[in-house]
Amino acid sequence: MGFEKNQIYTVTIEDIGAEGEGIGKIEGFSLFVKDALPGDVAKVKLTKVRKNYAFARLEEIIKPSPGRVEPCCPVSRQCGGCQIQALSYGKQLAFKQSKVENNLVRIGGFEPEMIREIMEPIIGMESPWRYRNKAQYPFGCSKDGTPVTGFYAGRTHVIIPNTDCLLGARENKRILDTILKHMRQYQVAAYDEGTGQGLVRHVLVRIGHATGQIMVVLVLTSPVMPSKNNFMKALRELHPEITTIVINVNDRDTSMILGEKEYAAYGRGYIEDELCGMTFRISPKSFYQVNPVQTEKLYGKAMEYACLTGVETVLDAYCGTGTIGMIASRHAASVLGVELNRDAVRDAVNNAKQNQISNIRFYENDAGDFLLELAQQGGKLDVLFLDPPRSGSSEAFLNAAVRTGPGRIVYISCQPETLVRDLRILVRKGYKAEKCVAVDMFPYTDSIEAVVSLVREKRA
């Protein structure tokens, strides 16, 4: 079949792609259709044709997906941050569950019966809005030069004004509106990406779900802010819930949000939150799960899968601020944590001290290098937790991990594709997947989190 631009096809959408677009197939040829949902039967027009796939525009929905609902957010289409907001929450969960299963079967080559046996039902949220404890808002100039904030319209750097993302806390809007007002009042200019002029690039708001502490990070092009004291005073007076304000300096031409240098303009420069009965310190740059309600469920599953009895040596790899390792430390003999980000390691060390945990040690290192060294020194592990970034773990890490002989591995993943890739390596090395569960950490978006437990069947 020859596919050409502007041709119209009828297609059934089966999947969601990396940027939230619907994916349908015609004789093995994939069509990526923006704003289409799994279950839609739609007429689409090809806009860009490649060798094995094409991009297409939705012309008409002939039969809507049974899960289609009216999105709650008025700007959901322009924003694109919530790729599946037009799908009912129940259908979102079903979609995510089947995505994990399908990945394990189709890409992982696992037996479908075996996967059905080990998969538990996905853990969703009772109330799936306003779950994020972290918001990052880009600032820019409107046509008349006044500062605006909102979000980038899909794949562009055009800011669509909006201070109230429905995934974030209600406080965000109030704080951002105050910042905008005071920028006008004190003539603090927003950064202009085109000219490189202006001061305010981004504002980050992080909220401690359990503690209510709020950190505001102003990302500026210069450490010097005109009328800084008045600005800070106004912000604090109107929002006494803000416990710290950090100025972060990013003067480079980069899409990275945070720069290297930062200082606390007010308060301690970090906030604290509580999770699974422990207190955690969160700095501007350290990773901390964004959905605290679901994080407790996720960590609960990870602990259940680890079957700790109090005598084990445990490694928490890719440990961030040390959350998983610290929770495990209560049920293990000793815990090691390894993490690349220096700020996160510093927070982890402080967190352990604050919670009076003495059987944990943190190392700032590449997880693969660390494990290789451990294996070379003959170190042994009983249980390995790993929670790598989206890109997954590495073959070097997994090879070294196996040499340390853990009887159990608990893999926490935010990307099913790399999870499956890594699981195949572990299975080849003598591990067997025992249980798997998806946890919906990011309702309304297409992100999927899953936990898998593996047990060693034979010595490598």
| Shorter beta-carbon distance to ligand SAH: residue 102 or 334 | 334
Q: Phi/psi of residue 398, each to 5°? A: -65, -40
Q: Which stretch binds ligand SAH (CB under 6 A): 90-98, 328-336, 387-395, 450-458?
A: 387-395
User: In angstroms, rounded to a whole number, what is the distance separating the alpha carbons of residues 100 and 97?
Assistant: 5
Q: Which stretch binds ligand SAH (CB under 6 A): 181-189, 261-269, 283-291, 347-355?
A: 283-291
Catalytic site residue from 73, 141, 414, 436: 414
Applying CB under 6 A, among 101, 296, 343, 387 the residue interacting with ligand SAH is 387
Q: Which stretch binds ligand SAH (CB under 6 A): 17-25, 152-160, 267-275, 319-327?
A: 319-327
Q: What are the beta bridge partners of residue 49?
A: 54
Q: Note whether 304 binds ligand SAH by CB under 6 A.
A: no
User: In angstroms, rounded to a whole number, what is the distance separating the alpha carbons of residues 93 and 454?
Assistant: 24
Question: CB of 197: closest distance to ligand SAH in angstroms?
Answer: 32
Torsion (CA) 420, 421, 423, 425 in degrees, nearest 10? 160
Applying CB under 6 A, among 79, 82, 324, 423 the residue interacting with ligand SAH is 324
Applying CB under 6 A, among 259, 320, 392, 443 the residue interacting with ligand SAH is 320
Show the binding pattern over residues 362-381: x = contacts ligand SAH (CB under 6 A), - = does not: ----xx--------------
73 is catalytic: no
CA distances from 209 to 138, 218, 236, 273, 372 (A): 23, 21, 20, 6, 37
Q: Which stretch binds ligand SAH (CB under 6 A): 138-146, 281-289, 354-362, 427-435?
A: 281-289
Applying CB under 6 A, among 217, 344, 420, 436 the residue interacting with ligand SAH is 344
Applying CB under 6 A, among 318, 362, 431, 442 the residue interacting with ligand SAH is 318
Q: Note whether 287 binds ligand SAH by CB under 6 A.
A: yes
Applying CB under 6 A, among 69, 340, 396, 425 the residue interacting with ligand SAH is 340
| Shorter beta-carbon distance to ligand SAH: residue 137 or 288 | 288
Site residues (CB under 6 A) for ligand SAH, limited to 187-206: none
Q: Note whether 389 binds ligand SAH by CB under 6 A.
A: yes
Show the binding pattern over residues 99-138: x = contacts ligand SAH (CB under 6 A), - = does not: ----------------------------------------
Tell me the two tokens of residue 445.
Answer: 């978006």
Farthest-apart Cα atoms in the chain, separation: 69
CA distances from 188 to 146, 196, 283 (A): 10, 15, 25
**Burial annotation 156-184 (CB, 10 A radius, 16+ → b, else e):** eeebbebbbbbbbbebbbebbebbbebbe
Question: CB of 299: closest distance to ligand SAH in angstroms?
Answer: 8
Question: CB of 277: closest distance to ligand SAH in angstroms?
Answer: 16
Radius of gyration of the chain (CA): 24
Reduced to 3 states, what is the DSSP secondary structure of residue 35?
Answer: coil
The conformation of residue 457, written as its DSSP 8-state character, comes to -
Secondary structure (DSSP) of 360-389: EEEEES-HHHHHHHHHHTT---SEEEE---
Q: Using alpha carbons, select from 290, 14, 35 the residue that is nearest to residue 154.
A: 35
| Shorter beta-carbon distance to ligand SAH: residue 42 or 215 | 215
Q: Using alpha carbons, select from 316, 409, 413, 330 the residue that is nearest to residue 365.
A: 316
Tell me the two tokens of residue 433.
Answer: 């997947």
Q: Which stretch binds ligand SAH (CB under 6 A): 30-38, 206-214, 282-290, 441-449?
A: 282-290
Applying CB under 6 A, among 103, 163, 341, 415 the residue interacting with ligand SAH is 341
Q: What are the beta bridge partners of residue 43?
A: 10, 60
Which parts of this chain interact with ligand SAH (CB under 6 A)?
287-289, 318-320, 323-324, 338-341, 344, 366-367, 387-389
Residue numbers annotated as active site: 414
